[in-house]
Chains A and B, each alone.
Chain A
Amino acid sequence: MDTTSHGRALGLSAAAAIIVAALALGALIVGWAVGDVALDATWAPSWDLRLSFDLDGLALLYGLLAAGVGVLVFTYASAYVPRHLEHQERSRAEEPRLHAAMVMFLVAMVGLAMAKDLIALFVFWDLTAIASWLLIGYDRQNREARLSALMALLVTTITAVLMLIGILMLRAQYGTVQLDELFARARESTTVTVAVTLIAIAALAKSAQVPFHFWLPRAMAAPTPVSAYLHSAAMVAAGVFLLSRIHPLIALDSTLLDGLIVIGLASMAVGGLLALQADGLKRILAYSTISQYGYVVTMLGVGGTAGAGAACFYVLAHALAKSALFMTAGAVGEATGATALSEVGGLARRMPLLAAGSAACVAAIAALPLTIGFFKDELFFAAALEHSTLLAVLAVGGAGLTFAYLARFWAGIFLTEERGTPEPIERRLVWPVALLGVLVVAGGIVVQPFADLASDAAAVTAATPVDLHPAYHLDTRAENLMALGAYATGALLLGGLRVLLGPLRLFARVGRAIGPERVYGLTIRGLNRLSDQLHDIEVRDLRGRVVAVLVPGAILVALGVIFTPFEGAYRAGAINDADIPLFVTLLVCGVGALAVSVQRRHLPLALSLSGLGFALATAYALIGAPDVTLVAVLIETIFTLLFVGVYALLPREVLRREAALRSSRSRRLRDRTIAIITGFVTMLVVWGALSRPIPQEGMAERHSALVDEAHGKDVVTVILADFRGMDTMVEITVVVVAMLAVALVLRGRLRA
């Protein structure tokens, strides 16, 4: 096979990504060997926010999958991405972008797996969403890819907001976001049920379960290594990971568990049926992923040691095999140019290693003996049987469906008559598949290490020790019979495929026409239209923008005034002799305001405005606020100078013409009405605020009393730099951001 032609050597960024993944894998293995790796750093003690990480069994399982599959997928990507860019006539300089986002995903996934604090968990959750958006939309010149990336981002982050609400509800109820403390304190209650439901919705959306499944097939617009990573060991796995992580909370309410079973079974069925009729190679695998994670969700719904154990083992076995199948689809595409079943066939002789590796992985997911997959179904059947007979029957049906569509997938590529002649491809596109094939077969022979890994993870989920001992039993126990039943169902489905294909395609069409994807599309379009309309109203002209701020503001404030108790709220105090200077100053302010509203020419307008400002500054000085006065004077000075400077630079002609412009009569009437109403409401609020009795021991007094302690004498400065220093920091960060934004916008306009 050709490994060096076309200059497709291993790129530097690809090598870096592989090394990072390998290091992460090594670190996790060392952490596993050492045991008890945990980190707990407080970062906002007053809110009890901690960065607490713990490498427990569950974290280890998902971390190892993300890093281990990561090493292989990144290696595969190092050969795939240069070819991909070449096909699209893009520069190889774009390669590092993909590897960087992949590494970001890996880091986010490991962080997510180890987080023991729900807020930290939420942050990593959203990080994975952002990384997935970058990855799915990697072909950014392709509209389809951009839309798919946006869909995945919206579905997973909007539901993530629900999750945040759920987390905050739990925090409000139990005063903590630490998982261990929550598990200890939480009791069955409506709040917990609602909060956990919200979190579970986010998890189900991430795992592409019905009715959120539609984003996943669309995400196949991503380059194949991305699909191989996101839809086996990482993004989709994050959903069931979260369910496993908070399982002790879910288990408080049996209705929630039943809900998980229903959603899991529905996803199994929908994903499986759609996979059976699909033609695109990656599409079949995408539907398959929906269906397979449906299994896991079902088992998490069954719960207990059996359910948790089966779920964890299932995730492990599935992730290994599924990533290999995605890579197979990519390798076949690179070798023959085919992307659909109808375009390929008979590749077994031409690509024997790929055929063998993927055969092992197909066998693993279809649960044939001598692969790790056999045990995943054994545990699955045992858990289903323990729950109810109905579930056991449905489980056999689901497994049969899996068997059928995977047999169709593999046989369609590697058997049947030969179509298309494969070109030689890099070894790095093949050996990761072969290695995973060896791994799943090894797991089918020596299963205990894998079972131990899953047991440790399940112990966290079930909150009791779990001990999995899957093995071959050559007898007629129920699990074995169920497996035989599943193979038979699969064979029947395959045999009747010719008849079934018509109804199944109809099912897919109906789903597209009235399914959740359509609802998503309509919602997005409606929201876009609404936003466009509001935007049009707002930015038609400068006045429109001012109105867009003033009118909603005035309405809100007016509502506040109406619903505030009126009696005694508006009082007029007596005016002493000492108040006369202040009174006169405010009078000057009023005159200035009137002058501003009648002035038409630019320079007098600017001067009236600054006169008003200076009069206000004087008023501050009179009521004993020297710091505020100083800043007000400075700001007024700067604005006056800026106005005058700008006017000096503008041609006289333009100024005169602008000043002579008159707006229409109705327009003037509208503007005046808005101005008067807004001004009136503002006055009411200020009056009401000033009428309130001053609290005896307010914040101001407490601050003043502490100034000496803080080595200061000027209370305003001490507040800014010490007491409320964090606010100051955020505010000045905004100043810098605004500066950068203005500079970039204006410079950009200059260049254009």
Chain B
Amino acid sequence: MTTVLTRMVARGLLKPTLVVAIALLVKGYADVGDGFAAGLVAALGVLLQYIAFGRERVRRTLPVEHAPALALIGLAVVFAVFAVPVAFGNAPLEHVPAPGVEPVHVGTLELITAVLYDVGIFVLVLGAAITLIDVLVTTRDGQ
């Protein structure tokens, strides 16, 4: 029921969308964007696939059935970043490195636990969004 053009565009857009999402996530700490926005961008790419191809084909081509697990993994990462400092006697959610300490660089990326926290949010939002989309579409197909 969708046109060839829609399907071509949808297929072509998936990978660029994911790249943009990753870029938003990685640059989030220094530029516009964060884990939440990145998760939404990625979910948008997946939503487009659902609209263009329907649930059955998306389920065959993309691993969307793992989305709920993805959301829970994200939550686990966030909880871990929150709770692990307590085990070392710090306050909850105390990020490493501490203020004034120079973080480790990988290219222009700085490795700090706050970025890991953001990654957790990204994974969670992506998983939750895909789960919801999938469930909504299922309900529609069932009627």
**What residues make up the interface of A, taking CB atoms closer than 8 Å to B?**
43, 45, 626-627, 630-631, 634-635, 637-638, 641-642, 644-646, 648-649, 709-714, 716-718, 720-722, 725-726, 728-729, 732-733, 735-736, 738-740, 742-743, 746-747, 749-750
| Residue interface mask B13-32, A partner, CB < 8 A = 1 | 00000000000100011111
Q: Is the CB of B139 within 8 A of A746?
A: yes
Nearest CB in chain B: distance from A364 CB, A: 48
Residues from chain A with a CB closer than 8 A to the CB of B139 are: 746, 749-750
Q: Is the CB of B100 within 8 A of A709?
A: yes
Tell me the bound Cα distance from A638 to B37 in angstroms: 12
Interface centre among B43, B103, B115, B135 (most CB of A within 10 A): B135
> Which 6 pairs show the lowest CB-CB distances between chains A and B?
A709-B99, A713-B30, A717-B34, A634-B40, A739-B128, A626-B32
Within 8 A of A (CB), among B26-50: 28-37, 40-41, 43-44, 47-48, 50
**What residues make up the interface of B, taking CB atoms closer than 8 Å to A?**
1-2, 24, 28-37, 40-41, 43-44, 47-48, 50-51, 68, 71-72, 74-75, 78-79, 82, 86, 91-93, 95, 97, 99-100, 103, 110, 112, 114-115, 117-118, 121, 124-125, 127-129, 131-133, 135-136, 138-140, 142
Nearest CB in chain B: distance from A654 CB, A: 11
14 contacts between A and B (CB under 8 A): A630-B24, A637-B44, A638-B44, A714-B34, A720-B34, A725-B93, A728-B78, A729-B82, A732-B75, A736-B75, A736-B124, A739-B71, A739-B131, A742-B135
Nearest CB in chain B: distance from A430 CB, A: 49
Residues from chain B with a CB closer than 8 A to the CB of A740 are: 68
Residues from chain A with a CB closer than 8 A to the CB of B110 are: 711
- Check A627/B32 contact, CB under 8 A, given A721-B114, A726-B93: yes
Q: Is the CB of A641 within 8 A of B32?
A: no
Q: Is the CB of B99 within 8 A of A641?
A: no
Contact of A729 among B78, B97, B114, B129 (CB under 8 A): B78
Residues from chain B with a CB closer than 8 A to the CB of A712 are: 29-30, 114
Residues from chain A with a CB closer than 8 A to the CB of B51 are: 641, 644-645, 648
Residues from chain A with a CB closer than 8 A to the CB of B115 are: 721
Q: Is the CB of A711 within 8 A of B132?
A: no
Residues from chain B with a CB closer than 8 A to the CB of A634 are: 37, 40-41, 44
Residues from chain A with a CB closer than 8 A to the CB of B114 are: 710-712, 718, 721-722, 725
Q: Is the CB of A627 within 8 A of B33?
A: yes
- Check A746/B118 contact, CB under 8 A, given A631-B36, A709-B100: no
Nearest CB in chain B: distance from A729 CB, A: 6
Residues from chain B with a CB closer than 8 A to the CB of A721 are: 29, 34-35, 114-115, 117-118, 121
Interface centre among A631, A648, A718, A725 (most CB of B within 10 A): A725
Q: Is the CB of B71 within 8 A of A713?
A: no
A626-B32, A728-B121 are known; give 14 further A-B pairs, CB within 8 A: A627-B32, A635-B40, A638-B40, A711-B99, A714-B28, A714-B32, A720-B121, A733-B75, A736-B71, A736-B124, A742-B132, A742-B135, A743-B135, A749-B139
- Check A725/B34 contact, CB under 8 A, given A645-B50, A646-B140: no
- Check A631/B138 contact, CB under 8 A, given A641-B44, A712-B29, A739-B68: no
Tell me the bound Cα distance from A646 to B115 in angstroms: 36
Residues from chain A with a CB closer than 8 A to the CB of B35 are: 720-721
Residues from chain A with a CB closer than 8 A to the CB of B37 are: 627, 630-631, 634
Nearest CB in chain A: distance from B22 CB, A: 15
Q: Is the CB of B34 within 8 A of A722?
A: no
Nearest CB in chain B: distance from A734 CB, A: 10
Tell me the bound Cα distance from A729 to B121 in angstroms: 9
Nearest CB in chain B: distance from A665 CB, A: 34
Q: Is the CB of A750 within 8 A of B142?
A: yes
Q: Is the CB of A732 within 8 A of B136?
A: no
Tell me the bound Cα distance from A641 to B137 in angstroms: 13
Tell me the bound Cα distance from A732 to B117 in angstroms: 12
- Check A725/B68 contact, CB under 8 A, given A714-B34, A735-B125: no
Tell me the bound Cα distance from A39 to B92 in angstroms: 20
Q: Is the CB of A717 within 8 A of B118?
A: yes
Residues from chain A with a CB closer than 8 A to the CB of B95 are: 710, 722
Nearest CB in chain B: distance from A10 CB, A: 37
Tell me the bound Cα distance from A725 to B34 in angstroms: 13
Nearest CB in chain A: distance from B89 CB, A: 10
Tell me the bound Cα distance from A631 to B124 in angstroms: 16
Q: Is the CB of B82 within 8 A of A726?
A: yes
Interface centre among A641, A712, A718, A735 (most CB of B within 10 A): A735
Tell me the bound Cα distance from A711 to B50 in angstroms: 39
Residues from chain B with a CB closer than 8 A to the CB of A722 are: 93, 95, 114, 117
Contact of B128 among A648, A709, A736 (CB under 8 A): A736
Residues from chain A with a CB closer than 8 A to the CB of B142 are: 750
Residues from chain B with a CB closer than 8 A to the CB of A726 are: 82, 92-93
Residues from chain B with a CB closer than 8 A to the CB of A648 are: 1-2, 51
Interface centre among A635, A717, A726 (most CB of B within 10 A): A717
Residues from chain A with a CB closer than 8 A to the CB of B24 are: 630
Tell me the bound Cα distance from A45 to B142 in angstroms: 52
Q: Is the CB of A735 within 8 A of B34?
A: no
Contact of B124 among A635, A649, A732, A750 (CB under 8 A): A732
Tell me the bound Cα distance from A749 to B138 in angstroms: 11
Residues from chain B with a CB closer than 8 A to the CB of A710 are: 95, 99, 114
Tell me the bound Cα distance from A736 to B24 in angstroms: 22
Residues from chain A with a CB closer than 8 A to the CB of B29 are: 711-714, 717-718, 721
Q: Is the CB of B79 within 8 A of A739?
A: no
Q: Is the CB of B93 within 8 A of A735?
A: no
